[in-house]
Structure 1
Amino acid sequence: MSAKPFSFPIKVIPSDIDFMGHVNNARYLNWVQDTVLAHWQKLAPAEEVASKAWVALKHEITYRKPAFLDDEVIAETVLEKIAGARSFYNTVIRRGEDVLAEVKSMWCCIDAESLRPARISRDVAETFFGLPRKQEPFADE
């Protein structure tokens, strides 16, 4: 069961462009990170945002079309599942109707002080999934 999609607007700037005249492949991963973190910061309570951090564990990216300077791009991400300290996201990066890239990623929530993995509380998970308390938005792994 996934949460509602979260959209994050992106403006392609000159430093995004590589020697071939389009957005460098690595920049797409920065956009995914920016989007996932913005999603967390928007929905999580302030005390959770202050006490937790995120590190990427895995990205699987499929590039479909290039992006170019001054393109207006949208990254839309969906939190698919929470399993312990891990969160699984699907992100689609678009320019209008064109899909530029699709990214499956796994993130680990860490305690900002100890830098150790930190589970997402049930209350915080429910904020993201918008589920009644009886339903389980995350797996016990």
Structure 2
Amino acid sequence: MNWDLPTPFTIDLKVAADDIDGLGHANNAAYVTWMERCAWRHSQSLGLDLVEYRRLDRAMAVLRHEIDYLASAYEDDELQIGTWIVESDHRLKMTRRFQLIRPADATTLLRAQTTFVCIELSTGKPRRMPAEFVEGYGAALLEPYPLQL
């Protein structure tokens, strides 16, 4: 696999009929859903699941998506999406990168970057990351790399 960055956290996907839009390819909203699924599974692998978020009264919420849709996915395509945590101020913000690849032809379908902000669940207001977030997400943090969108 030709990943943009080393050692991505990856999940496998298969494009379902429900992902297909009127133009006959995967709808852009499906791509966002796949990014969210990959980010959540990565967070869970770091010990930061919904139970932990609720216990800490904190969550990482999307502030901004930057997405380049580079090629289409079609029903029954088998895909792999990877994510990396590429930046964190260890206080409020964290940035993830994503790459979606169709292994059958080694085509990159999407490159994206999402900025998250730490919020307090009980109020929805921005709050400082707890130590558990700094440590858990920090363990997966890559050295900064230039964005290749």
> TM-score, with normalisation over the residues of structure 2?
0.75
Answering whether residue 64 of structure 2 is matched by residue 58 of structure 1, we say yes
Answering whether residue 75 of structure 2 is matched by residue 75 of structure 1, we say no
Partner secondary structure for residue 79 of structure 1? strand
Answering whether residue 100 of structure 2 is matched by residue 93 of structure 1, we say yes
Answering whether residue 23 of structure 2 is matched by residue 16 of structure 1, we say no
Which ranges of 4 or more aligned residues in structure 1 deviate by more than 6 Å? none
1:60-103 deviation digits (Å, cap 9, x = unpaired): 11111110111111110000111222110110011112100000
Question: Which ranges in structure 1 are unaligned for 5 or more consecutive residues?
Answer: 132-136
Percent identity, aligned pairs only, is 27
User: Quick one: structure 1 residues 3 and 27, their matched pair in 2 at CA, closer, same or farther if it must change by over 3 Å?
Assistant: same
Question: Which ranges in structure 2 are unaligned for 5 or more consecutive residues?
Answer: 144-149
RMSD, aligned α-carbons: 2.4
Bigger share in strand: 1
Answering whether residue 110 of structure 2 is matched by residue 104 of structure 1, we say no
Answering whether residue 121 of structure 2 is matched by residue 117 of structure 1, we say no
1:97-124 deviation digits (Å, cap 9, x = unpaired): 2100000110112222222223334454
Report which stretch shifted further, 51-60 or 3-12.
3-12
1:53 is aligned with what amino acid? Answer: A
**Contact 2:88–2:138 at 8 Å: present in 1 too?**
no
Q: Which residue of 2 aligns with 1:134?
A: none
Length, aligned pairs only: 131
1:18 is aligned with what amino acid? Answer: D
Partner secondary structure for residue 127 of structure 1? helix
> TM-score, with normalisation over the residues of structure 1?
0.79
Partner secondary structure for residue 56 of structure 1? strand
**Contact 1:3–1:128 at 8 Å: present in 2 too?**
no
Cα distance in 2 for residues equivalent to 1:65 and 1:45:
32
